[in-house]
């Protein structure tokens, strides 16, 4: 006896829309079972994770702050994933974007430089992430190197470069030997008093609309979709596969780099180790939770951000380990992929005939 996946004939659009919702519900139920096994109340955990965060203004602001980098990175990654390219190194591109984008704010700190530093820093951050993403892209098109391995390995390189700079040439001489730079003067303005909601969150919806237009209304977007769904048809239609690889990686790298510099100029205000809370990896879950659709990824980013904020609150209120949040995100990705597969395929049990 064996199991086979058989493609379904016609799949309702509603089924595809509701699949991520079902995946979230399934992940929450699994999380509740795990919390009960740990000797905690699932109802109390649900209250802390979701209800408290959504019922307080600080929780909503924190959700927006956490969701913004996830959304921006996921939107960029969706171009690669739609073209069946696997950029797993957005975390490294995020870090390099933060480093390159911090050059101007770092060297103009204390000089009274004007607002012009911020837009230039954003552009430099995006270009830094783009350039770093070109390394696995060029290795792929030139030597056939797996972009999965090369992009993932470059994450560790970026992390070590950041660690070297904040402990060495960029370290604040008045920072009591802590591995961090000086505080930047050029930072994004806050939108609300007493919170961390900064102007960078406004870029998220703008980039979502731009991505939707590119994917659904341009020839390039059509080429990305065809390259992922029918590579042979893309070649017959005249789309250059190598050019598509470079373009998709350029977009995803630029988005990750932009998210990195937004994080530094927004809520952190300086460079230090651990500027990313795993945004580059978590954004993969966001992308698939949103079914690689720009509008769907808004939902995905908010859901994942909610679990992050709720996890931090549960760590304090219920003494639950923060690693439980990361585990939940992994379970969520598993449920999303399983729901997507079950919507597109049905499971058939095949009984082997006896000889």
DSSP 204-264: HHHHHHHHHHHHHHSHHHHHHHHHHH-HHHHHHTT--HHHHHHHHHHHHHHHHHHHHHHHI
Is the pLDDT at 354 greater than 60, yes or no? no
Residues forming a β-bridge with 5: 347
Does residue 206 belong to any structural domain of this protein? yes
Tracing tokens 């998210």 back to the chain, one arrives at: 259
The candidate with the shortest Cα–Cα distance to 89, out of 21, 34, 159, is: 159
Label residue 128 by pLDDT band (50, 70, 90): very high
> For residue range 140-161, what is the model confidence (pLDDT) as tens digits?
999 999 999 999 999 999 999 9
End-to-end CA distance of the chain: 14
Does residue 201 belong to any structural domain of this protein? yes
Is the pLDDT at 293 greater than 90, yes or no? yes
Which pLDDT belongs to residue 126? 98
Does residue 355 belong to any structural domain of this protein? no
- Pairing type for strands 2-7 and 345-350 reads antiparallel
Does residue 41 belong to any structural domain of this protein? yes
Contact 22, 339 (CB under 8 A): yes
Cα separation, 151 vs 165, whole angstroms: 21
Does residue 35 belong to any structural domain of this protein? yes
Tally the domains of the chain: 1
Does residue 198 belong to any structural domain of this protein? yes
Label residue 246 by pLDDT band (50, 70, 90): very high
Cα separation, 330 vs 339, whole angstroms: 14
Contact 291, 161 (CB under 8 A): no
Q: How far is it between the farthest Cα atoms of the chain?
A: 85
> For residue range 16-46, what is the model confidence (pLDDT) as tens digits?
888 888 999 999 999 999 999 999 899 998 8
**CATH number of the domain where residue 307 is located:** 1.10.3470
Domain of 90 in residue numbering reads as 2-350
Backbone dihedral angles phi then psi of residue 6, each to the nearest 5 degrees: -110, 125
Backbone dihedral angles phi then psi of residue 302, each to the nearest 5 degrees: -65, -40
Does residue 230 belong to any structural domain of this protein? yes
**In angstroms, what CA-CA distances link 274 with 9, 182, 258, 352?**
47, 16, 17, 54
Burial (0-12, 13-18, 19+ Cβ within 10 Å), 117: buried
Does residue 27 belong to any structural domain of this protein? yes
């Amino acid at each position: 006896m064996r199991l086979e996946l058989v493609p379904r004939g016609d799949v309702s659009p509603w089924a595809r829309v509701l699949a991520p919702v079902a995946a979230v519900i399934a992940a929450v139920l699994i999380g509740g079972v795990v919390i009960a096994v740990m000797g905690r109340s699932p109802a109390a955990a649900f209250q802390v994770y979701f209800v408290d965060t959504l019922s307080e203004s600080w929780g909503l602001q924190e959700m927006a702050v956490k969701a913004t980098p996830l959304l921006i990175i996921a939107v960029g990654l969706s171009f690669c994933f739609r073209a069946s390219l696997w950029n797993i190194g957005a975390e490294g591109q995020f870090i390099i974007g933060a480093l390159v984008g911090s050059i101007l704010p770092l060297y103009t700190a204390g000089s009274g430089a004007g607002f012009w530093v911020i837009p230039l820093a954003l552009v430099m951050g995006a270009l830094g992430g783009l350039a770093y993403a070109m390394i696995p892209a060029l290795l792929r098109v030139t030597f056939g190197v797996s972009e999965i391995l090369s992009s993932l390995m470059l994450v560790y390189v970026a992390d070590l470069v950041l660690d070297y700079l904040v402990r060495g040439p960029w370290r604040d001489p008045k920072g009591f030997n802590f591995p961090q730079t000086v505080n930047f003067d050029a930072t994004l303005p806050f939108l609300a008093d007493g919170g961390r909601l900064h102007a960078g969150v406004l870029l998220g919806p703008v980039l979502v609309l731009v991505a939707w237009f590119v994917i659904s209304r341009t020839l390039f977007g059509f080429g990305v979709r065809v390259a992922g769904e029918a590579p042979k048809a893309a070649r017959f239609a005249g789309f250059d596969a190598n050019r598509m690889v470079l373009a998709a990686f350029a977009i995803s790298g630029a988005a990750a780099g932009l998210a990195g510099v937004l994080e530094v100029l927004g809520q952190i205000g300086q460079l230090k180790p651990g500027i990313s809370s795993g945004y580059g990896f978590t954004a993969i879950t966001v992308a698939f939770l949103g079914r690689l659709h720009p509008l769907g990824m808004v939902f995905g980013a908010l859901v994942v951000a909610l679990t992050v904020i709720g996890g931090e609150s549960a760590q304090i209120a219920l003494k639950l380990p923060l690693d439980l949040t990361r585990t939940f995100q992994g379970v969520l990705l598993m449920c999303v992929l399983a729901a997507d597969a079950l919507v597109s395929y049905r499971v058939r049990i095949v009984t082997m005939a006896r000889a």
